[in-house]
A = this chain, B = another copy of it.
Amino acid sequence: MIKKASTHINQNEGLIFERSRPGKVGYRLPELDVEAVPVESLIEARHLRDDKLAGLPEVSEVDVVRHFTRISTWNYAVDLGMYPLGSCTMKYNPKLNERVSRFEGFVSSHPYTPDELSQGNLELLRDPELSLAEITGLAAVSLQPAAGAQGEMTGLMTIRKCLESRGDARKYVIIPDSAHGTNPASAAICGYQVKTIKSGPDGSVDLDNLRAVVDSDVAALMLTNPSTLGMFEEKIEEICRIVHEAGGLVYMDGANMNALVGVTRPGDMGVDVIHLNLHKTFSTPHGGGGPGAGPIAVTKELEPFLPFPRVIEETAANGSRKLRLDYDRPHSVGRVRAFHGNFSVLVRALCYIVTLGPDGLREATETAVLNANYIAHHLKDDYEIAYAGKPLHEVVFTDKRQQAYGVHTLDIAKRLIDYGFHPMTVYFPLIVPGAIMIEPTESEGREEIDLFIDALKSIAREARETPELVKMAPHNTRIGRLDEATAARRPILRWKPAVSTAGAAG
């Protein structure tokens, strides 16, 4: 019996273009307050558009509000319920963060505002650096990377720069086969070849495999800790030693820091560089795909190579202390994006840190780990655990038992939708066939988690007793499973007047 959800009336809605009618307007600008000169006298005709912007819709404000409000109701969201996507840390996004990030004094300031007129912004760029350095146990932080993947790229570049300064950039980056796809992709951009090492029987780094590949051509090991299986690399110190002794550096993918904040610090483990996903561990909203922020923290040795500009504090002649942006960074890897990073995301993350403080951050970590273990404990009789061990913030099962009835991970995921939940992460990490990856985060209470456990238990039962029910799921959504194969074979990637009933499902 489905306890958490029902079905309810829900509005259909076409594409915004289908609401367009000649002459409708949704805006009102002030009258032009300077004399208007014929456009052609200012810009050569050949440079002017000749399509009258025909593609853009003509709609009223009411149309816009109705359109986007309606389609929003088709989404599941953290504010509606548990979002147990493993590796994604879908925690609660505090409304206070949203509010402060919108203060007029922030949103209306231009990135090239002279330093003396933007001291507030500069403080907000420095303060998170200090906190994140302490949290990671590393020496310096750059807030510039726009997301985790860019943090990886930036971090590996600082490593490369460092090695170059030592005389040899080296050739390889070692990445466990359990790593997230962005790891190898980022290594490639940095001009490194990827050496994949097989994880050990317990899913952790196999030291022998590691020793076997580590040599003087290896620039770095890229390690996710806790691993994408949610387990801590217990031999992390040994691992770092092995890499360091061979003259390489250790990059840690910090996407799973929600398991560690306040409990242990990468810097203390021997890690040289780490990126943080502020849109995971530090509660900034995912926004249906972004934006995020992927700051990196590095050791003292790597600090000179961080992207420019850097915020530095100076004491003026009159003794007053001022912050300024320093562009003079001769050893820097360079810039990884224009301006100063995803500022509005950084403000939210800082707001989260000051709201929680040391105790709150640790409490969050403890609760996230507690919740994951609680789920692991209650589901282990119904689903096959991928790797025995001590899960931290997330747990990975497989569909092994359900396959016996022709039910696969994807079916289980879709059936969870009928039970009122967003599915867990599926088929990741790749080393786990039919992976079912569950991360509750600290934002879930026991009741919601128990409902989730009930749902998965009930689905396990359905898989045995009425497998078709699961394989045809979801049944309670406005549309069913979509034919992704055809979509990829004959891609329709934009609206054209022809396709006029698009989206108006129902």
A residues bordering B, Cβ < 8 Å? 2-12, 19, 21, 28, 60-63, 65-66, 69-70, 73-74, 76, 79-81, 92, 94-95, 355, 417-418, 420, 443, 445, 447, 474, 476-478, 504-506
Contact = CB atoms under 8 A, between A and B. Distances in A.
B7 A11 contact: no
Given A8-B476, A8-B478, A10-B6, A69 B62 contact: no
Contact of A2 (B61, B79, B506): B506
B445 A3 contact: no
Given A66-B80, A66-B81, A8 B447 contact: no
Given A19-B447, A94-B61, A8 B66 contact: no
- 6 shortest interchain CB distances as A-B pairs: A6-B506, A8-B10, A7-B7, A6-B478, A8-B478, A69-B79
Nearest to A418: B9
Given A8-B7, A66-B79, A60 B445 contact: yes
Contacts of A443: 62
Nearest to A76: B9
Contact of A417 (B3, B9, B63, B477): B9
Copies of this chain, tallied across the complex: 2
Given A6-B506, A94-B61, A420 B12 contact: yes
A441 to B, nearest CB: 10
Nearest to A417: B9
A372 B60 CA distance: 19
Which interface residue of A66, A79, A478 has the most chain B CB atoms within 10 A?
A66
A500 B381 CA distance: 31
A8 B73 contact: yes
Contacts of A95: 61, 65
Contacts of A355: 28
Contacts of A474: 9
A8 B6 contact: no
